[in-house]
Amino acid sequence: MSEMQLVGIRVELPQQQPVMLLQEADGERMLPIWIGQHEAAAIAMVQQGVEPARPLTHDLLVTVFQALGRDLVRVDIVDLREGTFYADLVFDDETVISARPSDAVAVALRCQTPIHAAAAVLDEAGIVVPEEQDEEVEVERFKEFLDSVSPEDFEAGEG
């Protein structure tokens, strides 16, 4: 498993499909996962420090975990089957709950919990981005990549 950092949410044009971008903490691969609009908004809210007046679904889940005395230890993106990514929520008592990666990441951000990806997932869907490139070149190269592919190229359904 490689630790991943959330780079952010981008919108693929022209379909207006959100893409969640994760990057290896100690590597050069990025993992793009196409996700739904609601999940993209939930992730973006945390990144921007926006706190809703009332708890949203992901906030509610965190409150339930806390009320039950459980701590989320990590989120693992564990598989990519037939174009669909799979993730696990891993708790302090070793309970593992399957989840969509987009929901798992939205919860992990709220719990400030590490995100990991299995080597096989990174090998299959990861994109190598050389470290020596400056940020502007890296972003431009990734935009070009996104312009040249569609979700069907990865056979990736909603994360």
Q: Are the beta carbons of 60 and 38 closer than 8 angstroms?
A: no
Question: Cα(24)–Cα(36) distance, rounded to whole angstroms?
Answer: 22
CATH of the domain at 102: 3.10.690.10
At 86, the pLDDT band (50, 70, 90 cuts) reads very high
Q: Is residue 118 part of a domain?
A: yes
Hey, what amino acid is at 56?
L
Residue 130: pLDDT over 70: no
Mean pLDDT of the chain: 87
Q: Is 158 helix (H, G, I), strand (E, B) or coil?
A: coil
Q: Is the pLDDT of residue 14 over 90?
A: no
Range of lowest pLDDT (93-102, 116-125, 138-147): 138-147
Report d(CA 35, CA 71) in Å as an integer.
25
For 47-70, what is the mean pLDDT? 91
What total of structural domains would you count in the chain?
A: 1
88/79 Cα distance (integer angstroms) = 10
**CB-based contact 12:20 (threshold 8 Å):** no
Query: For residue 150, is it within any domain?
Result: yes
Does the residue 105 lie in any domain? Answer: yes
pLDDT at 54: 87
Q: pTM of the prediction?
A: 0.78
Where in 52-142 does DSSP place strands (E)?
72-81, 84-91, 96-99, 115-117, 127-128
Stronger pLDDT, 158 or 54, i.e. the higher one: 54
Does residue 91 belong to any structural domain of this protein? yes
pLDDT above 90 coverage of the chain, percent: 60
Strands 2-12 and 127-128: unpaired
| Domain around 105 | 2-154
- Residue 139 is assigned to a structural domain of this protein: yes
Residue 159 lies in a domain: no
